Amino acid sequence: MNPISYYIKSEIELADQRKLILLLYSRAISLLKEGIKFLKEKDFENSHKNFSKARRIIVELLSSLNLEVGEIAKNLQSLYVYMMKKIMEANLKKSISPAIEVISLLEILKEAWENLKLESSLKRENNKNFVI
């Protein structure tokens, strides 16, 4: 196993749920950007491969949702389904704009999860400094 694959594998194995979601968002964004690059180069085989991998990540995110948690999970479900359709559209129609839209949505979600992680870290830090 090469060093990069080993690093990624160890990151995934040691990741908490938030970090894993961030890794999945980052990877999907990267794959979509690669797919767009290949589309622009008229390399349809590699654009298809990248779009398909990004779609599988969204499928995995969708399947991991706990819909009993509430409205946020249901909204994410709708958003993930929408993203999967847009990725399929980009792939089938050889169109960049649906992929760009999905990248924008994923970047918004990624930023929200990063802020959630930062907020959680700040709360833990504040609780450490709290003395009764």
- Per-residue pLDDT reduced to its tens digit, 103-130: 999 999 999 999 876 655 555 555 454 4
Q: Is residue 26 part of a domain?
A: yes
The pTM of this model reads: 0.79
Residues 6+ apart with CB under 8 A from 25: 106, 107, 109, 110, 113
Q: Is residue 14 part of a domain?
A: no
Better-predicted residue by pLDDT, 15 or 53? 53
| Structure-block tokens of residue 83 | 């993203």
Whole-number Å distance between alpha carbons of 3 and 81: 34
Q: Is residue 53 part of a domain?
A: yes
Q: Is residue 4 part of a domain?
A: no
pLDDT at 132: 43
Range of the domain at 57: 19-127
pLDDT at 33 > cutoff 50: yes
Whole-number Å distance between alpha carbons of 115 and 121: 10
Confidence class for position 54, pLDDT limits 50, 70, 90: very high
pLDDT at 90 > cutoff 80: yes
Q: Is residue 6 part of a domain?
A: no
Q: Is residue 79 part of a domain?
A: yes
Q: Is residue 1 part of a domain?
A: no
Q: Is residue 99 part of a domain?
A: yes
CATH number of the domain encompassing residue 111: 1.20.120.340
Looking at the structure of the chain, the number of domains it has is 1
